[in-house]
Amino acid sequence: MGRFLRLGTAEPYSALEDYRWRKRQQHKDDVPAFLPLLACSVMAASRMVNDRNHRATAYHARFSELLTGDEKRLGSHHYEPVSRMWQVLASWQHSQKGARGLCTIPAPADLPANRSMIGFAQSQALLSGADRSFMPKFFRSLREHGATWPLPGKTLLAQIEIRGMEQHFSRGFRNALQEEELRLFLANLIGNYAASWDGSDELVPTGVTRAELLVRLDAGRLSWVARLRSAEQKERIELNDGVVLEQLGDTAYYEVTGLPAPSADTLTRGIRRDGDNLVLSRPSSSVLVLARDDVLGVWAGTDGFHPGEAHVVLAAPTAQRDVQRLLDKAATTGRSADTSKLAWVPQGWSMHKPVTFDDAVTLRRALQEVQGTVGLLQPPAQFKLRLEGGLKLAPSLDSHLYLRGGEPQVVLPDTTEGTGTLLVDGKERPELRKALAAGRPASLAVLRLEPGRHTVSYAGVEIDFATADQAVIEPKMTKVCGFTVADGKASESPSLLVEQTLPTGITGADCTGAKAQDAAASMEVCRRDADEVLFAAADGRLWTLEAPEQPDWWTERLPDTPAPLRFEADFHGIGGWLLERRSGRWKGRPVNPGTPKPNSAGNPRAWARAVLNAQQASVESSWAAYVQAAKELDR
């Protein structure tokens, strides 16, 4: 860490902070780059013992010796940025929902003055490596007993306690279960693992994206296709062992090359390939269920049965008896196996098509009775009232606007137990009873609703939507002409406004972006003997105020130069905080501070660093707002 230090300067850690800021701009979810420095801080705390030269609390001497080899190069006044790094680490760990441990440090106000800048963090992961290894076994035990999957995190924690499975987890996990705040983190963490679990014996590591490997049936041939649910959709992804993913158009699906074709062997063995921050996987399975995919336009693998839809069911010899039992109990069509000899059917496997289940209640009951792999093909879990499908009109204007006659389907949550009544526009509709009683999505198109606003409500939950015969879509503006504004003054001639200047530019008759040029000036008196004088403006700009040279008449008219002398600083049409540092302490005064909006101008990184370095400059609520805005930028 020593090579990152700028010894002999007022900010010895600025190079590390600059590096961390650049890394954060590229990868916001990555581990903060100053973590090794905090590790040195912990090591220094562990070496606090009495000797001939230091007391047990002589922390900073140990820290300086560890980083520089000299116990006097870094003192307590250099520790403010390190203290802030602990705060950033705690904020980052909370943003990871406990997946990367938790950092708990006391507020400076809760500590004695001589310890207010020392981290003394207690950090540990909520789930150990052994806990993560046990998770797939725990998830499988729940699914094999007919549980609808995935279950929410709170339910999973309750199942651990009901089944007495705490002894299989680490002591840290058991302790966290007893604390209400940490229990919420555990619920989110385990719920995320359950939602991303693909049925294999290994969990996908935290922070790594999982791509689902699916089977596609197209033109009488089985092939692989991957589905990647990620905000960043790359056109080409290369994995280990020569596996390549090529994006299919502008979709979440990828063509897969480099894998053996789907066969009786590859379907039952399971597949997993790792790449750069991505895992492509498919668990071993003796039953393959295909359904029509709206995006691909062909048959593709699905995790479970969808009531009311057609399926193709392929079963290995070990699962054929269970599949037949399930179809005999619950299927509306497709009970008999298709005996035609099709080349794409895996050798030795049976095929049923088209398989439909019109009654979801009967299907769920049959899945609970049939054990084995078939019992895991539960319909997708529904935890809340929702609308699906339908023909949307102009989603860019209103995501809940549908074409009249193309209204969506309404889906009830699985936990309703028939206790509530579905109301459309405040009335019960008999046309929907049959579908709802069978546990299927109910189409609102059969109600022939008039154009306008409508509501669907159930058990205290209400969803609004609208129908119309047509929608007028206004063309998007590709170019905007106006006047740019710099330092409160509008440009003399118009120009095309780009993305950076559009928010503050003047367009049409809108003059709110400019300030009057004769705005009243504020004058402040600054100390000449200050080590540093800064002005942090509310809009994110930062100035260093240099003291002017002493005029000649001072020596002529002043027999003894008083100390400290001061100089004037004028502020025209701008507000913020004036900051002065003397003897390692910051003092601040407001200058028409206003509400801080550091993203609007200037250099937000430099602004945030200056404000956080001087966060103890004042106790006023206005300054606290500036510090909070800087912390938001520095996360």
Where a domain ends, among 350, 376, 402? 376
**Does 247 have pLDDT greater than 60?**
yes
Where a domain ends, among 376, 405, 440? 376
pLDDT of residue 569: 85
Give the DSSP letter string of 133-155: HHHHHHHHHHHTTT--SSPPHHH
**Does 376 have pLDDT greater than 60?**
yes
Residue 545: which of 520, 566, 563, 564 has the closest Cα?
Answer: 566
Residue 300: which of 332, 256, 270 has the closest Cα?
Answer: 256
End-to-end CA distance of the chain: 22
Cα gap 569→578, rounded to integer Å: 10
**Does 476 have pLDDT greater than 90?**
no
Q: Mean of the pLDDT values across residues 250-264?
A: 91
**CA distance readout (Å), 356 to 306, 311, 332, 342, 368:** 8, 6, 6, 21, 18
Whether residue 231 lies inside any domain: the answer is yes
pLDDT of residue 511: 47
Dihedral angle sign, alpha carbons of residues 302, 308, 312, 316: positive
Does 277 share its domain with 400?
A: no
For 242, the 3-state DSSP assignment is: helix
- Say if CB 313 and CB 288 are below 8 A apart: yes
Structure tokens given for 243: 């596996």
Does 452 share its domain with 352?
A: no
Strand boundaries in 492-551, DSSP class E: 495-496, 521-527, 532-537, 542-544
CA torsion angle 232 238 239 243 (round to 10): 120
Does 496 share its domain with 535?
A: no
* Structure-model confidence comparison of residues 368 and 300, the more confident one: 300
pLDDT tens-digit map of 157-207:
999 998 888 888 888 888 888 888 778 888 888 888 887 787 777 887 766
Whether residue 448 lies inside any domain: the answer is yes
Q: Out of 45-54, 61-70, 229-238, 459-468, pick the least confident.
A: 45-54
pLDDT of residue 518: 45
Dihedral angle sign, alpha carbons of residues 399, 405, 408, 410: positive
pLDDT of residue 516: 43
Does 224 share its domain with 334?
A: yes
**Gyration radius of the chain's alpha carbons:** 33
Q: Mean of the pLDDT values across residues 36-47?
A: 76
Does 368 share its domain with 390?
A: no
Which residues sit opposite 351 in a β-bridge?
A: 314
Does 88 share its domain with 109?
A: yes
- CB environment 365-388: b (16+ within 10 A), e (fewer): ebbeebebbbbbbbbebbeebbbe
Does 408 share its domain with 544?
A: no
Does 452 share its domain with 498?
A: no
* CB contact set of 107 (below 8 Å; sequence gap of 6+): none
Does 118 share its domain with 134?
A: no
What's the mean pLDDT when you consider all of the chain? 80
Cα gap 89→11, rounded to integer Å: 20
Helices (H), 347-490: 360-369, 433-437
Cα gap 17→612, rounded to integer Å: 12
Does 115 share its domain with 20?
A: yes
Does 214 share its domain with 332?
A: yes
pLDDT of residue 100: 72
Instruction: Give me the half-sphere count of Cα atoms (radius 13 Å) on the Cβ side of residue 273.
Output: 20
Residue 590: which of 544, 621, 551 has the closest Cα?
Answer: 621
Does 402 share its domain with 464?
A: yes
Range of the domain at 327: 209-376
Query: Domain tally for the chain?
Result: 6
- Say if CB 423 and CB 457 are below 8 A apart: yes
